[in-house]
Amino acid sequence: VPGKLRVGLIGCGYISFQHGPAWRASEDAELVAVCDQDEGRAGARAAEWGVGAVYRDAAEMIERERLDAIDVVTRPQTHTALVGLGASRGVHLLCQKPLAPTLDGARAMVETCERAGVRFMVAEMWRHLPWWRDLRGQVEAGAIGEPYHLRVVGARRAMRREAPVNENQPYFAAMPKLIVYEMMIHWIDPARYVLGEVETVYARMRRVNPAIVGEDWALVVLTHAGRATSQLDGSWANDAEPPGATREGDVVLEGTEGVLHFAPHERELRVVKLGGETSVLARYPEMAESFQRAFDGCIGDFANAVRTGRAFESSAEDNLKTLGATFAAYESARTGEVVRAESM
Ligand SMILES: NC(=O)c1ccc[n+]([C@@H]2O[C@H](COP(=O)([O-])OP(=O)(O)OC[C@H]3O[C@@H](n4cnc5c(N)ncnc54)[C@H](O)[C@@H]3O)[C@@H](O)[C@H]2O)c1
């Protein structure tokens, strides 16, 4: 595409507030229209972001605005229809995670876009968080020898035990798959990014909060390419963080020559060598800013890759592996067995 991409955004709900500024930060794209079934929401976002065109209907937006790409920022059960619509009109597609409620559905979306000749990426921004990029960079630079174990322990922050269970995302209450599908998928993806492809998945899950349908506690164990393991431990069932503490998880990556530790309360990445010698490798003073930078990095990657024709960092095809490991966790929790990711 010679000029800046003309982009339309569909879905002006909670997480859209990070997409608008990220589009503005991109030099390769311009957000020219926004769409939401709730026109008031779309109008409010358009005013906030200085976008001129507001629609209730996505098909009408695509037809009238001569778009090059659309950003699908709706919930997963609507993704297949909206991605299919975009592909049928020949526009490139960026879509929020989780891509679809089933792996077969997600695979079909990838095939639809391939047949239509449009580019298709998942807005998986977690691996763009600066500490995950720094973790991978340090591993590549040999800071800890050969990595063999990743441990992510999510911050313990309870959902409310009555409606709304979550202020920003009250729909959590009715989701049959919750903390792994909605949140821990964001750890599975950078675990792949740092340690390579997932071979097997073992998981235990539990619903603790009586006001919800899905699981709010989970332990997921991954093996990567036979050489490393990941232990992902998440809970939205209890409060065990100091007041005002960050919501980010504690990340420890062990290698044969030392340990990398992202310490969220201290907002820093450390390397600890055998014997305990510790140095701070990076600091991330503003967590909110780190998150916006991750959205900027992810959306910027989409816009630049579409414009220049290069590969995406998190193509939809690549993201099928993250989604497959996510569904494998549910299969493991259901059966009590270790599940091979490739069997999904
Ligand atoms: N860190 C992250 O990357 C992150 C964080 C939160 C949510 N999410 C993901 O983002 C997605 C959206 O979450 P949310 O909390 O913003 O949801 P939301 O329900 O707050 O917003 C979705 C919006 O889409 C609109 N919509 C739905 N179908 C539409 C259609 N066909 N045409 C036009 N508008 C339509 C709805 O009216 C609503 O305003 C989810 O898949 C969620 O998992 C990602």
The residue nearest atom 14 of ligand 1, judged by CA position, is 14
Bridge-based pairing of strands 198-206 and 217-224 is antiparallel
**CB of 96 shorter than 6 A to ligand 1:** yes
Note the pLDDT of residue 225: 85
Distance 210 CA to ligand 1 centre (A): 25
Nearest CA to ligand 1 atom 40: 75
| C-alpha 79 – ligand 1 centre gap (Å) | 10
Neighbours of 311 (CB within 10 A): 10
User: Tokens 């209907």 — which residue?
Assistant: 57
pLDDT at 243: 76
Cα–Cα dist 44/31, whole Å: 15
Q: What are the φ and ψ backbone dihedral angles of 296, each rounded to 5 degrees?
A: -60, -45
pLDDT at 1: 66
| pTM score | 0.97
Let me know: does 278 contact 271? Beta carbons within 8 Å. Answer: yes
pLDDT score, position 246: 75
Question: How far is ligand 1, taken at its centre, from the CA of residue 248, in Å?
Answer: 21
**pLDDT at residue 2, rounded to an integer:** 74
Residue stretches of the chain with pLDDT short of 70: 1
| Residue 248 pLDDT | 86
Ligand 1 atom nearest the C-alpha of 182 is 43
Q: Which residues contact 290 (CB under 8 A, 6 or more apart)?
A: 129, 130, 131, 284
- Across 101-139, b (16+ Cβ under 10 Å) vs e yields bebeebbebbebbeebebbbbbbbbbbbbbbbbbbbebb
